[in-house]
């Protein structure tokens, strides 16, 4: 079965993979959205915008960083998250395009990673060869521009990603449209989500101090779970 694609720290463990979607009771019964994107500083505002929009659309965003306190290794954690998710969002542009003026050619520490393509492959494999639940999975592909993807993942030339031009506002609109079209009308529109997200960004230093984090380190990667809690608190408070 063809997947439904929207056009345009390791340890051994034996945690069982989740067997169903449709909303995990442990997460309040909300549909689950797996986010697959670069985990580096230039992409952090985009990552946060995707998660914020998913929360505003009454879904539960998760990723490979979500609650790593279990016994499963990193790969098992990723597989479990994908198997349990109703939707997934995949940023396909290489991380280097978000690093303005940085050359990666001669610096091994800045060589491109392939985690995003790997996690997309796991997701597509689940929709092709998984059970009936996994075959209902819906995926959104994103890219800064089309040429990024055509160069890096030529096998996807028939699955056009949604283009956001590196702009947070367009990214939020794309994620909102994807989730709302598949879940029904939400309670807020993209313009309101953009306004709330900008306000949350402005309040982040004060939130960090209240949560006893250094403001410079309080971000969606270095303190992922606490950051997500703060995000939900602000949305629930009607920020």
pLDDT at 167 > cutoff 70 = yes
* Residue 225 binned pLDDT confidence (cut-offs 50, 70, 90): very high
114's tokens: 């392939």
Q: Up-side HSE of residue 100: CA atoms within 13 Å toward CB?
A: 2
In a domain, 200, yes or no: no
45's tokens: 């505002």
* Residue 151 binned pLDDT confidence (cut-offs 50, 70, 90): low
pLDDT at 8 > cutoff 60 = no
pLDDT score recorded for residue 14? 34
148's tokens: 């990024």
- Give, for 60, the enclosing helix (H) or strand (E): strand 60-62
pLDDT score recorded for residue 191? 95
In a domain, 162, yes or no: yes
In a domain, 206, yes or no: no
pLDDT score recorded for residue 7? 41
Q: What is the DSSP string of 151-211?
A: HH-GGGTTSPPEE-TT-HHHHHHHHHHHHHHHH---SS-HHHHHHHHHHHHHHHHHHHHHT
* Residue 16 binned pLDDT confidence (cut-offs 50, 70, 90): very low
72's tokens: 């499963």
pLDDT at 164 > cutoff 60 = yes
The mean pLDDT of 1-9, rounded to a whole number, is 45
In a domain, 229, yes or no: no
In a domain, 179, yes or no: yes
pLDDT at 98 > cutoff 60 = yes
Split into its structural domains, the chain has a count of 1
214's tokens: 């250094």
* Residue 102 binned pLDDT confidence (cut-offs 50, 70, 90): very low
In a domain, 208, yes or no: no
The CATH number that applies at residue 77 is: 3.40.50.10140
Q: What is the DSSP string of 127-158?
A: HHHS-TTGGG-EEEEEESSHHHHHHH-GGGTT
pLDDT score recorded for residue 128? 84
> In terms of residue numbers, what domain contains 12?
4-187
Contacts of 7 (CB under 8 A, 6+ apart): 159, 160, 162
Residue 151 and residue 115 in contact, taking contact as beta carbons nearer than 8 Å = no
pLDDT at 12 > cutoff 70 = no
User: Tell me: the pLDDT tens digits for 113-141?
Assistant: 678 888 988 998 888 888 888 888 999 99
């Amino acid at each position: 079965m063809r997947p439904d694609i929207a056009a345009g720290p390791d340890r051994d463990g034996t945690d069982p993979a989740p067997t169903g979607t449709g909303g995990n009771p442990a997460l309040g019964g909300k549909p689950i959205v797996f986010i697959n994107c670069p985990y580096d500083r230039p992409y952090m505002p985009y990552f946060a915008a995707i998660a914020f929009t998913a929360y505003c659309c009454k879904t539960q965003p998760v990723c490979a960083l979500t609650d790593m306190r279990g016994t499963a290794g990193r790969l098992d954690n990723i597989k479990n998250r994908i198997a349990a998710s109703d939707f997934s969002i995949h940023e396909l542009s290489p991380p280097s395009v978000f690093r303005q003026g940085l050359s990666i050619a001669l610096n091994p520490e800045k060589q491109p990673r392939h985690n995003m393509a790997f996690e997309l492959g796991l997701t597509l494999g689940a929709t092709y060869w998984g059970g009936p639940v996994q075959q209902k999975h819906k995926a959104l592909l994103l890219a800064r521009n089309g040429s990024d993807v055509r160069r890096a993942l030529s096998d996807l030339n028939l699955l056009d990603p949604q283009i956001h031009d590196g702009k947070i506002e367009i990214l939020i609109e794309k994620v909102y449209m994807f989730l709302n079209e598949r879940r029904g009308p939400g309670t807020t529109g993209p313009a309101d989500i953009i306004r709330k997200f900008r306000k949350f960004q402005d309040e982040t230093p004060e939130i960090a101090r209240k949560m006893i984090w250094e403001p410079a380190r309080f971000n969606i990667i270095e303190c992922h779970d606490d950051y997500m809690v703060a995000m939900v608190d602000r949305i629930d408070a009607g920020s």
